[in-house]
Structure 1
Amino acid sequence: MKEIEFKEVDQVGGDTLDVISNANKFNRWTYDTIRPFCKGKILEIGSGVGNISQFFLEDGAPILLSDIRKGYCSELKHKFQAYPNLEGVELIDLVDPAFDEKFKNLLGTFDTLFSLNVVEHIYDDNLAIHNAKKLLKKGGRLIILVPSYQFLFNGLDKELDHYRRYNKKTLSALFDKNDLKIINKQYFNFMGIFAWFISGKLQRNETIPEGQMGLYNALVPIFKIIDHIVFRAAGLSTIVVGEKK
């Protein structure tokens, strides 16, 4: 099975998370978009440095954070240790060959599992969804956000170790294949399409420039309105929410 060799130090990914961590308006927008679909005990797969985790913790939601890298897990523990609703921080790999054995204490225990910008890093994305489903209770919800449109694939994707980009049809197919009842599918961040194309395709950037992210973050209130105007018919990210039958 082909799979990314996850390095303990991920310079490009770490730099990208640091840039996005300062985009408070954008992170809040992302949180506000997925929060209505979250319920009960929550698991985040791929918490990184906690850009979205923080909002859940501030909201008082019981949440278990996780990542595939020990360095991020250590940072998350240190950063959020004071929150009483933090259920812990775990090292979780959705495509671990010994998944059932390693994570048997977590199987069937969560009401919500969300994973943002993670599945595109995994070669066997179907196995990732299959194992994510195992962690949910019956009626539990799986929320997946991934980058949209293969035609936008560029140097930024390569540097971030993305295997692919998605659309509502291709991401929904993974949910259907794993017998998850789809309750919502949408695009998110319409104006991001142009920003990603310009930065990655035209300017050939290999990381997200801090200045560009800062400007984008400042314009989020306008971009939110545009998403409503276009009825979320397109967007830089694809979101699908499904329930375990």
Structure 2
Amino acid sequence: MDTTGFSYAGSELELFRSAERWKTYWGSRLGGYVTGRVLEVGAGIGGTTEVLVTGRAIEWVCLEPDPALSDRLRRSVDAGRLPDRCRVVTGTVADLGAEDRFDTVLYIDVLEHIEDDRAELARAAARLEPGGHLIVLAPAHQFLFTAFDREIGHYRRYDRKSLLALEPPGLRMATAFYLDSVGMLASLGNRLLLRSSMPTAGQIRLWDRMMVPLSRGLDPLLRRSLGKTVVAIWTAP
């Protein structure tokens, strides 16, 4: 892919960067699967990297097709905001070298931006070492699709069934679940009543400080069967 003219259309990266409780929550659910050599697809401004890189990763490849964002990631590494085990690559999975293989491949709020999601996951699966994990976290439920989704370049939202239907050949499902049951109710209210195209900073603070802690307590009681975010994790044989 020629990424020279590519520019990410979304405007939500900075807005959601301050959602510390949310990042801590999903990070606690995914961190145990993130090990060894890690490929983060669509690294953006490094928000996911900051959450997960402190675990058992020995090398972290930040793959980002937007040259401006990848340059920003490089500056973060140079400045020490991201550890020096992070290597920034401008491009997509198809642009990686034939020898590049990983123990973990991450798509955190990224797969919904990719038109051919099935082919994308197949390419990612081909990069996994035996026993490695392919991890997808994505917005849940097409009935929650709004103008906000369109504005930031989403092709779709997923549910557990539609996400698991993308399982790459040869992998097996390790787990799949929902997160943020309280946030789902808030999103449904926005979809039906407010219909805002972009959340405000105040709305993000309210959700992160009040709703996410409530979800963190309620989600296990609901067996993580309800939420505005869906997660699927596959393992390579």
Query: TM-score scaled by structure 1?
Result: 0.86
Q: Does 1:44 align with 2:40?
A: yes
Q: Which amino acid aligns with 1:133?
A: A
Query: How much has 1:63 moved relative to structure 2?
Result: 1.3
- In 2, the alpha carbon distance for the partners of 1:221 and 1:9 equals 31
Query: How much has 1:85 moved relative to structure 2?
Result: 4.5
Q: Does 1:72 align with 2:69?
A: yes
Q: Which amino acid aligns with 1:184?
A: T
Alignment partner of 2:175: what SS?
Answer: strand
- In 2, the alpha carbon distance for the partners of 1:117 and 1:40 equals 21
Consecutive unaligned residues of structure 1, counting only runs of 5 or more, are 1-5
- In 2, the alpha carbon distance for the partners of 1:59 and 1:90 equals 21
Q: Specify the alignment match of 1:216 in structure 2.
A: 207
Query: How much has 1:145 moved relative to structure 2?
Result: 1.0
- In 1, the alpha carbon distance for the partners of 2:138 and 2:83 equals 30
Q: Specify the alignment match of 1:92 in structure 2.
A: 91
Preserved CA contact (<8 Å) 1:186 1:239: yes
Preserved CA contact (<8 Å) 1:122 1:163: yes
Moved more, 202-211 or 85-94: 85-94
Q: Does 1:183 align with 2:179?
A: no
- In 2, the alpha carbon distance for the partners of 1:45 and 1:9 equals 13
Instruction: Give deviations 1:168-200, integer Å, cap 9, x for gaps.
Output: 11111111x523110111111111212222234
Q: Specify the alignment match of 2:51 in structure 1.
A: 55
- Identity, in percent, stands at 26
Query: How much has 1:112 moved relative to structure 2?
Result: 0.5
Alignment partner of 1:196: what SS?
Answer: helix
Q: Specify the alignment match of 2:7 in structure 1.
A: 8
Instruction: Give deviations 1:200-243, integer Å, cap 9, x for gaps.
Output: 44212111211000011112222200111211011111111101
Q: Does 1:226 align with 2:218?
A: yes
Q: Which amino acid aligns with 1:114?
A: L
- In 2, the alpha carbon distance for the partners of 1:90 and 1:200 equals 37
Flag the 1:75–1:199 CA change in 2: closer, same or farther, 3 A. Answer: farther
Runs of 4+ in 1 over 3 A off after TM superposition: 57-60
Flag the 1:106–1:238 CA change in 2: closer, same or farther, 3 A. Answer: farther
Alignment partner of 2:106: what SS?
Answer: strand
Preserved CA contact (<8 Å) 2:178 2:229: yes
Preserved CA contact (<8 Å) 2:77 2:86: no
Q: Specify the alignment match of 1:238 in structure 2.
A: 230
Flag the 1:163–1:73 CA change in 2: closer, same or farther, 3 A. Answer: same
Alignment partner of 1:206: what SS?
Answer: coil
Consecutive unaligned residues of structure 2, counting only runs of 5 or more, are none
Preserved CA contact (<8 Å) 1:67 1:73: yes
Instruction: Give deviations 1:27-86, integer Å, cap 9, x for gaps.
Output: 111211111111211111111111121123344633111212111111111123325452
CA RMSD of aligned residues (A): 1.8
Q: Which amino acid aligns with 1:222?
A: L
- In 2, the alpha carbon distance for the partners of 1:155 and 1:201 equals 12
Alignment partner of 2:181: what SS?
Answer: coil
Preserved CA contact (<8 Å) 1:155 1:200: no
Alignment partner of 2:61: what SS?
Answer: strand
Q: Which amino acid aligns with 2:86?
A: E
Alignment partner of 2:165: what SS?
Answer: helix
Alignment partner of 1:44: what SS?
Answer: strand
- In 1, the alpha carbon distance for the partners of 2:47 and 2:119 equals 26
Query: TM-score scaled by structure 2?
Result: 0.89
